[in-house]
């Protein structure tokens, strides 16, 4: 037989694209359209309905950036269309190749009922099936003219990311708004041909099935009447049925499809637009559920449900009904799909607490799995936190984006730092916006790395980010692929069902231990530093407010614990931990609003704490310690004078009585407190840090060396830092002044000022205080660089085989060598409050109050010694998607802690991030709780969320070893229970000598519920 593959393939493509697809709508009549441009921000339906509309012609430009245009569309179904399937078809002038980052609209009836959204790949709204003929159609369409920030594939700087800079030039040209007949036979023929053609092209050249499909398509095209596509469509479909009916191989891979619409809670649009995106997509989904009984939609992010509940009650009611029908599956159990690295441990716990409670309260459903397809790596505490929240499985997809190494599993057990394991999967289809194309199905089978051990994978399908979610076309593809020779089999099912089957099939799946590090998007640990600082400070202010509010509730008559305010503030912080807000990868508008929200949160939390402390009664000035560790340090009085105080963990003490062992001396640029001696060079670097206790020099080379690197990644500017950034840099060694600014027995400080680059300045105050080996470097940067990253280096004279960096509820060790490509790929990593370097007998920590990104490297010197260098990533200057990212003022502190153990690093990390609060108060009561026993660290103290008055304490083992201790209470204790994260008792705790006996494995998290006597 002659090879006619090329002729057939080209013939089928042309007939499909130019004749079949164009005949899907058999006839159309235009709507009569009028428009009203809403001024400023979006308005309620009632205001739009009462507005005055002007006639609007097709082909007219509309929509300034971030604007809202309301269209009134009126028309009538022709009488002769009786019995036909009639739809409205609206093309707003869609652009580009991504359906979720541009114009979109929500269609309403004139009474305000939302019907369905209009999106680039989902342009129809059902009118009647079958039509009676003569129906009047009257719609109000809320159209959003969101700019296409993705234009030019993220290669161009754009001002469109903020309404303050975007201008008012119309972005779109309205193409058409019609009432149309959907020719169902032609529509189904269109899908038959698509599925078969795509399958054919994925099969091998020597696969008989490929040629069988090709010739079947060729014969079927002979039956297509080009002058009457509609009339000939049934015959063409009948000719294709034999090849569509051939069953899949018995060994075919099974793809479990679940409808999905990944909607970023903010990204290339502000939060206010996400609220509308959810309403549009959820309208589509509930409409699709009405049409397809076998459709199931998985949706995470309780915050988005709440937005719809509060703003679109009719859509919310439809969601509730779909959940009851079993077609809508709440998943994930988190308030938002947060970043996987940057939120603190307690914040991750609260993501699950608030998220799972929402689904339990509103749907009676307790979600079973963690749904985080798009975060940029996942910390190694996740398995334990997830299991403590009642989860059984974990889903991600992003690890497939690795730049260097291919992750070796798709289905596996993930083991966290404490030993907890959770069953984990990431889809080999390599997308969470699947549409069941032939290429996707082939890729899922080709990629799947568990062949021979397991035979199924998950595929979330639907257009995300405002693209409208799953479509009827995708559902039809799934039906055709349910059992089709040459393809993987598709079954639409709940993710819980997939995970149950996958675990049963593959109980001995391989184990991955430690973090799921994404070898990409490493700059998300640093970009938009003010957003990150706002998060860090909010987390600690929430801890502080809860502790002192609990103290006041226990000891101050008449004080009311602020349950609702704390709940609201936590949810605000949790929202801004979304995986495109906290990582710094959103447009300017998002980060501008985030900074304002963090400022508001801080103000309110300071007020709550002040109210709680004031409720304890007026009295002398006292220092309040929110840290879980006893502290002896220098604080400032109201007039700025330094005072040395000793304060118990979670308690307070008067500003009197304590004295350090040795005062601070300042001689030239040398600061000495008897514990450390710090010499500051004329260029402002630390030329020497001598640990006087250990009798050794800490630094191998000048410390606090500020290095400015060129930083232009290959692609994703705000997301990525590529390894070549190290190759071009400038050391900032030209200090304009190095000046002693404080010389006091309790405090010595030297200020270093620098100017560099495009008018940027850095002022650093290097401070040594009595009684502490910690060397603080308070930093004030006025930053005006572009495409640069600033790092601060501490090369220490330690041969450290690994670095230890704090993560949620513990720390993780990472090798300092680059023996393999896996270690080499970790050239930029994340940590929380501290990084520790150690060799047997000695260690050093670098502490910070708002920095996450860092790198650690080591070299061997000519004298045979080893220099291990930790470099903090202080600030970046990407220009896409926010051209002004990080520009302006930054104030933060980092510190060097010589002679530090890991436990020292933990304690000082808390201390730097939870400064002592000095205020007038009466003699404060005993701390709510205190711990006897090393390694047992209290993370949260609060009243139980059920308003019972019980005290809830969350603690963990922080050193990485076993720990035993006793938790004592500052109130009469009637009983204690161990609970899950949602404060539900799981077993009674052991009481010992009036306290609670605690035994923890390494990094174990324990939540206790304490009943008051």
Q: Could you please report the per-residue DSSP string of 620-640?
A: EEEEE--SSS-EEEEEE-TTS
DSSP SS3 for 647:
strand
Q: How many residues does the chain have?
A: 1013
How many C-beta neighbours within 10 Å does residue 693 have? 12
Alpha helices of 292-437 — where are they, by DSSP H? Answer: 302-311, 313-324, 345-363, 382-388
- Catalytic (active site) residue 683: no
Closest CA to 785 of 708, 718, 716: 708
Spell out the residues 6+ positions from residue 990 whose beta carbon is closer than 8 angstroms to its own. Answer: 996, 997
Provide φ and ψ at 742, rounded to 5°. -150, 135
Euclidean distance between CA atoms 849 and 79, whole angstroms: 71
The answer to whether 8 touches 14, Cβ cutoff 8 Å, is no
DSSP SS3 for 633:
strand
Closest CA to 183 of 263, 113, 237, 143: 237
Euclidean distance between CA atoms 739 and 729, whole angstroms: 27
Pair of tokens at residue 170:
């119309």
The answer to whether 674 touches 692, Cβ cutoff 8 Å, is yes
Closest CA to 487 of 185, 190, 189, 197: 197
Peptide bond into 130 cis (omega under 30): yes
Closest CA to 1010 of 960, 984, 974, 982: 974
Exposure of 430 by Cβ count < 10 A (0-12 exposed, 13-18 middle, 19+ buried)? middle
Catalytic position from the list 148, 374, 465, 950: 374
Exposure of 929 by Cβ count < 10 A (0-12 exposed, 13-18 middle, 19+ buried)? buried
How many C-beta neighbours within 10 Å does residue 257 have? 28
Euclidean distance between CA atoms 634 and 643, whole angstroms: 5
How many C-beta neighbours within 10 Å does residue 982 have? 19
Euclidean distance between CA atoms 842 and 847, whole angstroms: 17
Kindly state the DSSP code that residue 650 receives in the 8-state scheme: T
The answer to whether 447 touches 456, Cβ cutoff 8 Å, is no
The answer to whether 444 touches 428, Cβ cutoff 8 Å, is yes
Closest CA to 479 of 192, 236, 260: 192
Spell out the residues 6+ positions from residue 668 whose beta carbon is closer than 8 angstroms to its own. Answer: none
- What's the number of CA atoms in the CB half-sphere (13 Å) around residue 896? 29
Torsion, Cα 321 324 330 333, to 10 degrees, reads 120
Q: What angle do CA 872, 875, 877 make, to 5 degrees?
A: 140
Residue 499's H or E segment, with its range, is helix 495-505
Residue 793's H or E segment, with its range, is strand 788-796
The answer to whether 353 touches 982, Cβ cutoff 8 Å, is yes
Closest CA to 319 of 294, 291, 289, 293: 289
Q: Could you please report the per-residue DSSP string of 461-490?
A: ESB-TTS-B--HHHHHHHHHTTT-TTS-EE
Strand 297-299 to 511-513 pairing: unpaired
Euclidean distance between CA atoms 25 and 182, whole angstroms: 5
Longest CA pairwise span in the chain (Å): 102
**Termini Cα distance of the chain:** 91
Active site positions, annotated: 374
């Amino acid at each position: 037989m002659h090879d006619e593959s090329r002729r057939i393939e080209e013939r089928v493509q042309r007939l499909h694209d130019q004749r079949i697809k164009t005949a899907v709508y058999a006839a159309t009549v235009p709507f009569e359209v009028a428009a009203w441009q809403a001024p400023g921000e979006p308005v309620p339906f009632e205001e739009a309905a009462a507005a005055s509309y002007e006639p609007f012609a097709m082909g007219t430009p509309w929509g300034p950036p971030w604007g809202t245009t309301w269209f009134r569309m009126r028309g009538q179904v022709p009488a002769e269309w009786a019995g036909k399937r009639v739809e409205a078809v609206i093309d707003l002038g869609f652009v580009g190749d991504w359906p979720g980052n541009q114009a979109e609209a929500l269609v309403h009836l004139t009474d305000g009922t939302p019907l369905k959204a209009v999106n680039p790949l989902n342009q129809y709204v059902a009118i009647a099936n079958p039509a009676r003929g003569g129906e009047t159609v009257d719609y109000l369409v809320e159209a959003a003219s969101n700019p296409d920030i993705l234009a030019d594939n993220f290669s161009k700087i754009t001002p469109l990311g903020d309404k303050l800079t975007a201008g008012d030039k119309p972005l779109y040209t309205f193409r058409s708004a019609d009432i149309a007949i959907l020719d169902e036979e032609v529509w189904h023929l269109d899908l038959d041909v698509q599925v078969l053609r795509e399958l054919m092209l994925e099969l091998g050249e020597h696969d008989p099935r490929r040629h069988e499909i090709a010739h079947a398509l060729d014969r079927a095209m002979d039956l297509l009447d080009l002058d009457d596509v509609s009339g000939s469509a049934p015959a063409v479909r009948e000719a294709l049925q034999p090849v569509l009916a051939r069953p899949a191989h018995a060994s075919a891979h099974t793809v479990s499809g679940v409808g999905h619409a990944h909607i970023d809670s903010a990204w290339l649009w502000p939060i206010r637009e996400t609220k509308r995106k959810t309403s549009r997509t959820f309208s589509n989904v509930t409409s699709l559920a009405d049409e397809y009984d076998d459709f199931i939609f998985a949706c995470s992010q309780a915050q988005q449900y709440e937005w719809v509940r509060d703003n679109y009650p009719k859509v919310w009611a439809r969601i509730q009904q779909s959940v009851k029908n079993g077609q809508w599956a709440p998943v994930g159990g988190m308030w938002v799909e947060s970043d996987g690295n940057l939120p603190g441990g307690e914040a991750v716990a609260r993501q699950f607490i608030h998220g799972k409670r929402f689904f339990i309260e509103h749907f009676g459903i307790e979600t079973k799995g963690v749904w985080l397809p798009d975060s940029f790596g996942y910390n190694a505490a996740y398995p334990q936190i997830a299991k403590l929240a009642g989860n059984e499985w974990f889903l991600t997809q992003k690890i497939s984006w690795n730049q260097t190494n291919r992750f070796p599993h798709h289905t596996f057990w993930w083991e966290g730092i404490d030993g907890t394991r959770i069953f984990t999967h990431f889809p080999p289809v390599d997308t969470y916006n699947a549409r069941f194309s032939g290429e996707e199905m082939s890729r899922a089978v080709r990629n799947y790395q568990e062949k021979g051990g397991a035979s199924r994978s998950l595929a979330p399908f639907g257009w995300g980010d405002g693209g409208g979610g799953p479509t009827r076309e995708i559902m039809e593809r799934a039906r055709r692929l349910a059992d089709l020779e040459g393809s993987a089999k598709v079954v639409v099912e709940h993710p819980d069902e997939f995970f149950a089957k996958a675990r049963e099939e593959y109980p001995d799946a391989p184990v991955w231990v430690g973090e799921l590090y994404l070898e990409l998007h490493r700059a998300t640990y640093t970009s938009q530093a003010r957003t990150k600082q706002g998060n860090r400070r909010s987390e600690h202010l929430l801890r502080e407010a809860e502790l002192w509010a609990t103290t006041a509730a226990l000891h101050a008559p008449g004080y009311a614990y602020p349950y609702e305010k704390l709940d609201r503030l936590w949810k605000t912080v949790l929202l801004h931990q979304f995986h495109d807000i906290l990582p710094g990868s959103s447009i300017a508008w998002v980060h501008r609003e985030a900074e304002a929200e963090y400022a508001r949160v801080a103000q309110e939390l300071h007020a709550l704490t002040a109210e709680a402390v004031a409720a304890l009664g007026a009295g002398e000035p006292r220092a309040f310690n929110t840290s879980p560790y006893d502290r002896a340090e220098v604080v400032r009085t109201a007039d700025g004078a330094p005072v040395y105080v000793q304060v118990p963990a979670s308690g307070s003490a008067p500003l009197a009585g304590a004295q350090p062992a040795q005062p601070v001396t300042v001689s030239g640029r040398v600061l000495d407190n008897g514990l450390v001696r710090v010499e500051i060079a004329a260029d402002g670097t630390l030329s020497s840090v001598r640990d006087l206790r250990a009798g050794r020099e800490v630094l191998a080379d000048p410390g606090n060396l500020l290095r400015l690197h060129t930083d232009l990644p290959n692609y994703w500017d705000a997301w990525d830092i590529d390894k070549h950034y190290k190759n071009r840099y400038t050391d900032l060694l030209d200090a304009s002044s190095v000046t002693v600014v404080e010389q006091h027995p309790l405090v010595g400080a030297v200020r270093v000022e620098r100017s560099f680059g495009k008018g940027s300045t850095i002022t650093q105050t290097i401070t040594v205080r009595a009684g502490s080996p910690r060397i603080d470097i308070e930093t004030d940067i006025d930053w005006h660089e572009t495409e640069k990253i600033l790092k601060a280096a501490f090369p220490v004279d330690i041969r450290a085989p690994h670095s230890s960096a704090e993560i949620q509820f513990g720390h993780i060790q990472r090798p300092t060598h680059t023996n393999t490509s896996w270690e080499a790929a970790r050239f930029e990593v994340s940590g929380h409050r501290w990084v520790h370097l150690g060799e047997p007998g000695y260690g050093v920590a670098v502490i910070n109050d708002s920095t996450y990104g860092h790198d650690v490297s080591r070299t061997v010197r000519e004298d045979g010694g080893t220099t291990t260098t930790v470099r903090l990533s202080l600030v970046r200057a990407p220009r896409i998607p926010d051209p002004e990212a990080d520009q302006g003022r930054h104030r933060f502190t980092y510190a060097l802690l010589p002679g530090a153990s890991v436990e020292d690093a933990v304690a000082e990390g808390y201390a730097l991030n939870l400064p002592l609060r000095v205020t007038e108060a009466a003699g404060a009561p005993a701390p709510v709780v205190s711990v006897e026993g090393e390694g047992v660290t209290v993370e949260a103290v609060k009243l139980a969320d059920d308003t019972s008055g019980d005290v809830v304490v969350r603690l963990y083992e922080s050193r990485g070893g076993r720990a035993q201790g006793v938790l004592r209470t500052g109130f009469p204790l009637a009983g204690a229970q161990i609970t899950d994260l949602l404060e539900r008792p799981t077993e009674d705790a052991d009481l010992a000598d009036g306290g609670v006996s605690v035994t923890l494995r390494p990094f174990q998290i324990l939540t206790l519920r304490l009943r008051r006597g």
